[in-house]
């Protein structure tokens, strides 16, 4: 790692001004509106690259940055970065998962409560001149079991917040062991599928999580349940989800992410699926805003700047 003061930082997505305050004195090329055509020239001298989701940073782009030593992502997921190739080239990869964990956990609870008490559905009905009380009778979270899949930063934060509701909280993580305590029970995936009334997903996207929630997964859940996905869209197989929404095994779904979030590029099949989800009163959709609050926008920048400063010092 070269002397910290000699680094050139290229930032290609919007970042809070606190990032520049914490890294004052460094050469920073702030180019949130940079085009694909302009990017190759900007990468030539960059030793640190900071991005969010604008670019799929694959081998081709990494090779266009011969001086690159650090990649920093203003978020938690790293699935848009070829980590294996970056590691092969000795490039350190950092994220800021601590920065938006509270935001994602809060939105998860908001969606959960909205589904259980039909808030979105009843609001829409009132707009149509319908005042339906009995039909919108809800469930209390206190009497349910919430199963968290993925016990990283967001999963832990969510479990902590769910304590105040008095519900049973269980969690499964493929990569972590011995994390259970007085507030969350560590279980196998099979146990989680047997006990959960609500299943909420907070996993990174990788080969084992892609299409994880599919026909087989849903069939293995012992009772009708609510599903929330605030991780990555490709974790849930949308046709299989739709099938079980129609069949009643999935009582409701809260989706902050979709497999293809570029709506203008949707195929006819994807458009039909989205239309069904959008018109289904058992489904709540949000445009990948789970970790996107004004507060997290600042905290992500702060966390990443601190990590970069720390790694420069070894």
Instruction: Identify whether the C-beta of residue 12 lies closer than 8 Å to the C-beta of residue 56.
Output: no
The verdict on whether 261 is a catalytic residue reads yes
Backbone φ/ψ region at 131: left (φ over 0), alpha (ψ -120 to 50), beta: beta
Q: Which of 186, 191, 270, 288 is catalytic?
A: 288
Q: Tell me the C-alpha distance between 230 and 143, whole Å.
A: 23
Q: Which of 232, 244, 273, 302 is catalytic?
A: 232
Identify the pLDDT of residue 28.
Answer: 94
Listed in sequence order, the DSSP H helices in 205-293 are 215-220, 238-247, 268-279
Residue pLDDT, tens place only, 39-82: 999 999 999 999 998 899 999 999 999 999 999 999 988 999 99
Its CATH class, for the domain covering 4-98+295-312, is alpha beta
Residue 1 has pLDDT above 70, yes or no: no
Q: Tell me the C-alpha distance between 246 and 240, whole Å.
A: 10
Q: Which of 135, 261, 271, 275 is catalytic?
A: 261
CATH fold group of domain 139-281: Rossmann fold (3.40.50)
Residue pLDDT, tens place only, 137-165: 999 999 999 999 999 999 999 999 999 99
Identify the pLDDT of residue 4.
Answer: 60
> Mean pLDDT throughout 102-112?
98
Question: Which string of b and e fits 269-288 if b means at least 16 CB within 10 Å?
Answer: ebeebbeebeebebbbbeee
Ranges of CATH 3.40.50.720 domains, the chain: 4-98+295-312, 139-281
Give the pairing type, strands 145-149 and 92-94.
unpaired
């Amino acid at each position: 790692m070269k002397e910290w003061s000699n680094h050139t930082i290229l930032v290609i997505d919007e970042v809070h001004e606190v990032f520049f305050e914490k890294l004052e004195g460094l050469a920073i090329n702030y180019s949130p509106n940079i085009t694909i055509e302009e990017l190759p020239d900007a990468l030539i001298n960059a030793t640190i690259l900071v991005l969010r989701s604008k670019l799929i940073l694959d081998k081709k782009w990494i090779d266009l940055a011969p001086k690159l030593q650090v990649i920093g992502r203003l978020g938690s997921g790293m699935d848009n970065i070829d980590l294996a190739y970056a590691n092969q080239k000795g490039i350190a990869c950092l994220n800021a998962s601590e920065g938006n964990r509270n935001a994602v956990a809060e939105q998860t609870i908001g969606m959960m409560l909205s589904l259980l008490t039909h808030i979105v559905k009843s609001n829409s009905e009132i707009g149509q001149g319908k005042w339906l009380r009995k039909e919108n009778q809800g469930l209390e979270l206190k009497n349910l079991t919430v199963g968290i899949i993925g016990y990283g930063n967001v999963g832990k934060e969510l479990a902590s917040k769910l304590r105040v509701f008095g519900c049973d909280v269980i969690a499964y993580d493929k990569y972590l062991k011995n994390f259970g305590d007085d507030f969350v029970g560590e279980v196998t995936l099979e146990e989680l599928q047997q006990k959960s009334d609500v299943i909420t997903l907070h996993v990174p996207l990788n080969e084992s999580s892609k299409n994880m929630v599919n026909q087989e997964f849903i069939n293995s859940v012992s009772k009708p349940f609510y599903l929330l996905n605030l991780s990555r869209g490709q974790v849930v197989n949308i046709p299989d989800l739709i099938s079980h929404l129609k069949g009643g095994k999935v009582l409701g779904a809260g989706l902050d992410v979709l497999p293809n979030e570029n709506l203008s590029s949707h195929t006819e099949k994807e458009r039909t699926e989205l239309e069904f989800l959008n018109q289904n009163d058992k489904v709540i959709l949000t445009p990948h805003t789970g970790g996107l609050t004004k507060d997290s926008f600042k905290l992500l920048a702060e966390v990443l700047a601190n990590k970069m400063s720390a790694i420069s010092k070894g």
